[in-house]
Amino acid sequence: MRRNLEALIANADALADQLESYEPEPEDFDAPLPPLMAVKLAAFKRDAAERDLAKAVETAREQKVSWRSLGEAIGTSGEAVRQRYSHT
């Protein structure tokens, strides 16, 4: 058992050394994401954008911007915006 632990630690140290000395190549930045990672990243961005939009709508309403104007800005009806964001 001890020998396996020592091998695991040695392997972890070798991987840490590789990571610490890694210098990305220009093509590394253009490498495609694996499909599942691309989906996760897109979902993360969508959630962040939705939070930003909700905050912007809240701020606009505090400044007395109409639901109709907000709907036009978002590309929907004022009623749809009111239903979606009036409780936030």
Task: Note the pTM of the prediction, 2 decimals.
Answer: 0.64
pLDDT digit string, tens, across residues 16-41: 989 899 888 888 888 888 999 999 99
pLDDT digit string, tens, across residues 46-86: 999 999 999 999 999 999 999 999 999 999 999 999 999 99
Q: Which residue has tokens 């070798």?
A: 14
CB atoms closer than 10 angstroms to residue 70: 22
Angle at 60 between CA 54 and CA 64, to 5 degrees: 140
Angle at 34 between CA 28 and CA 38, to 5 degrees: 100
What is the chain's percent helix, strand, coil content, to nearest 5?
A: 75, 0, 25
